[in-house]
Amino acid sequence: MRGKQAPKRVIKPDPKYNSVVIAKLINYIMERGKKSVAQKVVYGAFDILEKKHSNPLDVFDKAVKNVGPDVEVRGRRIGGANYQIPVEVRGERKNALAFRWLIGAARSRKGKPMREKLAAELLDASNNTGSAIKKKEDTYRMAQANKAFAHFGRR
């Protein structure tokens, strides 16, 4: 790696729930710098969850915890061959992958506004069902299949 690593930016908490994690989700959903549109989507999804359940924050936290992967595979070239090496996922990356998979799964649903799709996906993920959970399980299965190459991960 050349040069210095870029410093981590401090993200301001979101205005409604005063949570940095929700602000991060809003930033992931945002397209073309339209933060107000992204906030409407997230807060609309939380309002839908509030009608179905008492506390949308509990559903959101449980969904992110359920979707966040424990292991993933990373490609590494050794002696002319590429190996998929299982690696443990830590902190920030776990949340980043969880958000990415939740948003991707919500966007792939058809025929409803984004806030409804996001609410449905968060509800499914909190109940350990849905596309985002399937993605996590596929990643876990891939890591298990390549467990034999785990010794390449240690240097």
Does 32 map to a domain? yes
Does residue 45 lie in a domain region? yes
User: If DSSP codes are grouped into helix, strand and coil, which group holds residue 11?
Assistant: coil
Report the pLDDT value the prediction gives residue 44, as an integer from 0 to 100.
94
Could you give the number of structural domains in the chain? 1
Residue 113's domain comprises 20-69+88-152
Quick check: pTM over 0.85? yes
Whether residue 74 is contained in a domain is answered as no
CATH number, position 115: 1.10.455.10
Cβ-proximal residues to 53 (8 Å cutoff; 6+ apart), any chain:
59, 123
Burial (CB count <10 Å: 0-12, 13-18, 19+), residue 22: buried
Q: Is residue 40 part of a domain?
A: yes
> In DSSP terms, which residues pair with 84 in a beta bridge?
75
**What does the alpha-carbon distance between residue 28 and residue 64 come to, in Å, rounded to a whole number?**
14
Q: What is the pLDDT of residues 13-60, one digit of tens each?
A: 999 999 999 999 999 999 999 999 999 999 999 999 999 877 899 999
pLDDT, tens digit, 9 for 90 and up, residues 53-89 = 778 999 999 999 999 999 988 888 888 988 888 889 8
